[in-house]
């Protein structure tokens, strides 16, 4: 199509280069997932005016609690492993309730917003064939253990290539976590027709000033990209600060 090659945007044509003139080359076909997601990402990047906010949240207490719960679960033979992503899902669900504009979609003509009364969160999962985004329904109504079980099952399904179309539909917001791999921050691309996405990077111990001295705290870098047509910078900052507050003190989840 015109847009895919840049013609529809009035851009210069893609450079044509015979790479084999300079050395050995090999051509490989992009995977089906690459092709589908590539076209979606291209549209989203071109059509959505992105803004990304960066922050770090103190997850020292959360991690201590999570590890403690995993030990208890092991003792009780519950066959469940609680990962940090589940707490992030719950914190995001709480933030979406507090800031409903983030739980919306903008109409094609850019004139109206559809505000959703349900909270379904997509979680990007890395598979051998590429990235897929299964959707977890009604996250605000589920507990940590229930969500952990669901995440384990769905991640396995995703890696085995057994996700159905309905498993990936109905999302309101996406979380993309690179925590297990690395990076300090990144700029995730909003997953249309959603209006925001949270990127999670690798946590690290850092010195934090407590008013008297520096103390080592486990800090988690977060990157929030959002559609600037729907959300302004101040609301973006409030939303990210809210998530920070919940992750720094998970007792707020029960409030």
Kindly name the residue from 50, 53, 185, 228 that is annotated as catalytic.
228
- Comparing C-alpha atoms, which of 227, 221, 210, 225 is closest to residue 244? 221
Q: Which pLDDT band holds residue 2 (cuts at 50, 70, 90)?
A: very low
pLDDT for res 7: 62
Distance CA 174, CA 92 (A): 9
Q: What length does the chain have? A: 255
Which of 172, 185, 227, 235 is labelled catalytic?
A: 172
Instruction: Name the pLDDT band for 1 (thresholds 50, 70, 90).
Output: very low
pLDDT interval class at 4 (50, 70, 90):
low
Q: Confirm whether 227 is a catalytic residue.
A: no
Instruction: Please confirm, yes or no, whether 172 is among the known catalytic residues.
Output: yes
Beta bridge partners of 115: 104
195-247 pLDDT tens trace: 999 999 999 999 999 999 999 999 999 999 999 999 999 999 999 999 999 99
Contact 118, 104 (CB under 8 A): no
Helix (H) or strand (E) holding 150: helix 144-159
Annotated active-site residue 53? The verdict is: no
């Amino acid at each position: 199509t015109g847009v895919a090659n840049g013609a529809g945007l009035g851009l210069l044509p893609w450079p044509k280069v015979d790479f084999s003139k300079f050395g050995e080359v090999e051509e490989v076909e992009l995977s089906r997932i690459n092709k589908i997601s590539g076209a979606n990402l291209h549209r989203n990047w071109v059509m959505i005016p992105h803004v990304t906010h960066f922050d770090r949240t103190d997850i020292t207490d959360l991690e201590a609690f999570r590890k403690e719960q995993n030990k208890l679960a092991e003792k009780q033979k519950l066959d469940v492993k609680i990962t940090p992503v589940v707490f992030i899902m719950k914190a995001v669900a709480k933030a979406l309730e507090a800031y409903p504009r983030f739980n919306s979609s903008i109409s094609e003509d850019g004139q109206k917003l559809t505000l959703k009364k349900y909270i379904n969160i997509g979680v990007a999962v890395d598979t051998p064939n590429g990235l897929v985004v299964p959707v977890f329904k009604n996250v605000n109504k589920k507990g940590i253990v229930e969500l952990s079980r669901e995440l384990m099952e769905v991640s396995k399904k995703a890696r085995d290539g057994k996700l159905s179309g309905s498993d990936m539909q109905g999302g309101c917001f996406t979380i993309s976590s690179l925590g297990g791999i690395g990076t300090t921050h990144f700029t995730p691309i909003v997953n249309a027709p959603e209006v925001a996405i949270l990127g999670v990077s690798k946590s690290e111990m850092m010195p934090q000033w407590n008013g008297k001295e520096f103390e080592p705290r486990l800090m988690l870098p977060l990157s929030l990209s959002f559609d600037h047509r729907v959300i302004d910078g101040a609301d973006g900052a409030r939303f990210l600060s809210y998530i920070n507050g919940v992750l720094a003190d998970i007792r707020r989840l029960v409030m």
